[in-house]
Amino acid sequence: MSSWTLYVQESGDEWPSGGTSIIPRPQEDLDVGLNTTQQAIQLADGSLGYYTPETKTVKPDLQFTWYMNDEDFKDELESYIENHDFIKIVTHTGKEYIGRFLNLQSKWLVGESPDEYMITVGFTRMAGSD
């Protein structure tokens, strides 16, 4: 399984040159869509007009999911949330996801041996993110 490189932004808005951590690729597909911010408005004649604000589109949050027996990895992700770290993730294809981890859910899969966790984190994408 290939891995991704995770960077935590340093003071002065700089990214470390060598990466902060190597993380495994998520094991569930990602919804990497795009949403418009325009709004349909019904005009006096009954037809529709469209209002488009200055920010024309937004990228939805990503949900990363891993199945693993590594509690240290879960603790690492929790620390990024607790520290409010600004994160850049570079994928195996070179895509860059820039933003913050917002939440983490961890489910202990007690029927597995060795014990495994299903770890799901929400990641909000910021400006400059793929």
Residue ranges of domains in the chain: 3-33+60-125
For all residues of the chain together, what is the average pLDDT?
A: 92
7-17 in b/e burial notation, b at 16+ Cβ within 10 A? bbbeeeeebee
Q: Can you read off the two tokens belonging to residue 75?
A: 């603790």
Confidence at 106, pLDDT banded by 50, 70, 90: very high
For residue 67, with 0-12 CB atoms within 10 Å meaning exposed, 13-18 middle and 19 or more buried, which class applies?
A: middle
Q: What is the pLDDT of residue 11?
A: 86
- Compute the distance between CA of residue 124 and CA of residue 101 in angstroms, rounded to an integer: 6
Which residues are bridge partners to 40 per DSSP? 50
Entry pTM: 0.82
